[in-house]
Amino acid sequence: MAVTIAPFGRTAAGEEVLAGRIENAAGMAVTVLSYGATVQSIQVPDRTGGLRDVALGYDTLAEYEANDGYLGATVGRVGNRIGGARFWLNGQEYPLAKNDGENHLHGGVRGFDKYVWDMAAGADSLICSRVSPDGEEGYPGALTVTVTFTVTADSALVIDYAARSDRDTVVNLTNHTYFNLSGGGSALDHELRLSARRFCENDGGCLPTGRLLDVTGTAFDFRESKPLGRDIGAAEEQLRLAGGYDHCFALEGGPAAVLYSPASGIEMTVETDMPGVQVYTANFLTPRPGKGGAVMGQRDAVCLETQLFPNAMNCWGFPSPVLRAGKPLSSRTAYRFAVR
């Protein structure tokens, strides 16, 4: 295992940003930027042994700063949407930044993806940390966050989230990597399997209503592996509202997801202790140049964002995102790569 950290660039504000790289003996290499604790690249061998970069991203820091889409970023304090950009906790109302119409998205105007984190090297890992101050984007409590990216000998990228707050608060951390297991082009041929019989119903703003819908007989049934593109154009209200898949599935145990590219032979298995995974087919990804100048756009990737169900503070019965003062939060998601 080799772990190195090198300068990547400076933000427009003059802060130094680092790029850490972890490589295992099988040739898998992951690059993480201290800007946004962002996964910039994941190189894995395909079925011929050639390396493919299976994560969308940019070559320069300026592009990360200028562009939307959260490519590869750590999102928080609360990833995904909070309806009405407000929540109640301990009898008090907390208004949050509105950055998605009337709603709050991915931590607000300046979420965790837009900060420079501290970065340190471990034996087989990169450890990113930052303190989100009390009141940031409207959230109560100073939150100390550590996100550890580990590459294992058997070619998994493991992401460990740890956090602690000095006041009661809400937390829902995830990673926003756009996966393309072919290394580029459309991801609609990728075959996806999910261990989920139910998913969160969305309103017209991709905000969960609080109802869980059964996937049986719908385009949302991924219990048997099928190409992402097979049913994405089906005449179903939930697909129409989101312009594709952009929904949180309720996980049921076993691997959360298995994604496979027939073109490269690369298979990725996702394991998590989170109750949900947001499946997002890059519906809002406007065409833009990425690494090496290759154009990427809508449907050219799929995000598998493991998390608590979105809008949980406003939906009775959803697992709670409340983190009590002084209590440790810890969560793990692993993305394991293989070929077949």
176 is annotated as an active-site residue? yes
Find the binding residues for ligand GAL in span 49-108 (CB under 6 A). Answer: 69-70, 105
Catalytic residue among 104, 106, 176, 247: 176
Q: Known catalytic residue: 305?
A: yes
Phi, psi of 41 (to 5 degrees): -155, 150
Structural Rg of the chain based on CA atoms: 19
Looking at 107-115, 145-153, 276-284, 318-326, which segment touches ligand GAL (CB under 6 A)? 276-284
Cβ atoms within 10 A of the Cβ of 329, count? Answer: 18
Whichever of 23 and 63 has its CB closer to ligand GAL, that residue is: 63
Q: Which two tokens stand for residue 78?
A: 């609360």
The residue count for binding ligand GAL (CB under 6 A) is: 10
Footprint on residues 280-299 left by ligand GAL (CB under 6 A)? 280, 284
Q: Does 246 bind ligand GAL (CB under 6 A)?
A: yes
Find the helix or strand (DSSP H, E) in which 66 lies. Answer: helix 61-66
What is the smallest separation between the CB atom of 187 and ligand GAL, expressed in angstroms?
A: 15
Out of 206, 250, 304, 334, which residue is the one contacting ligand GAL (CB under 6 A)?
206
Strands 38-45 vs 29-33: parallel, antiparallel or unpaired: antiparallel
Measuring CA to CA, which residue among 11, 258, 8, 225 is closest to residue 113?
11
Extract the tokens encoding 322.
């409340």
| Interface pick for ligand GAL out of 195, 278, 311, 314 (rule CB under 6 A) | 278
Q: SS3 for 291?
A: helix
Closest CA to 263 of 26, 48, 42, 43: 48
| 300 belongs to the binding site for ligand GAL (CB under 6 A) | no
| Residues marked as catalytic | 176, 305
Contact set with ligand GAL (CB under 6 A): 69-70, 105, 206, 246, 278, 280, 284, 303, 305
